[in-house]
Amino acid sequence: MTVESSRSSAITGNDGVAVDQLPLRLTEDDILGLHVLASLDGVADADSDGFFETASFTMREGVMARFAKAGMPWPPTADSVKTAKSVADAASASEAASASHE
């Protein structure tokens, strides 16, 4: 499944190039779950736009929940990415230091 981004100018891939599509690997359970949610939303089987909206909403809600759990504000900014990388680097360095003392 490929998801188009409406904020392509703000998203870059590992190579620094702007990304306007995000390939996602979904399991059969993921797809079935999205179909269930779309049905609960009243989306008809043939309504691909409605299915896309349900999938996008569900993903956005999940991302927002992860931000809240991490204590980070929504919506994200470029500084949010820098902060997350700094925190991850510090955690990784701390784990490496702990492992070297064992």
pLDDT at 1: 47
Q: Provide the residue range defining the domain that includes 44.
A: 2-71
Q: Do 85 and 49 lie in a common domain? A: no
44 shares its domain with 92: no
More confident residue, 14 or 25: 25
Collect all residues with Cβ–Cβ distance below 8 Å to 73 and sequence separation of at least 6.
67, 80
Cβ atoms of residues 75 and 63 within 8 Å: no
Of all residues in the chain, the percent with pLDDT exceeding 90 is: 42
Question: What tens digit of pLDDT does each residue of 23-63 get?
Answer: 788 999 999 999 999 999 999 999 999 999 999 999 999 99
Count: domains in the chain? 2
**What is the sign of the dihedral through the CA atoms of 11, 13, 18 and 20?**
negative
Question: Is there a single domain that holds both residue 88 and residue 67?
Answer: no
- List pLDDT tens digits, range 64-74: 999 999 888 89
Residue 7 confidence (pLDDT) above 50: no
Say if residue 44 is in the same domain as residue 87. Answer: no
pTM for the predicted model, two decimal places: 0.64
b/e 48-84 (16+ beta carbons within 10 angstroms → b): eeebbebbeebeeeeeeeebeeeeeeeeeeeeeeeee
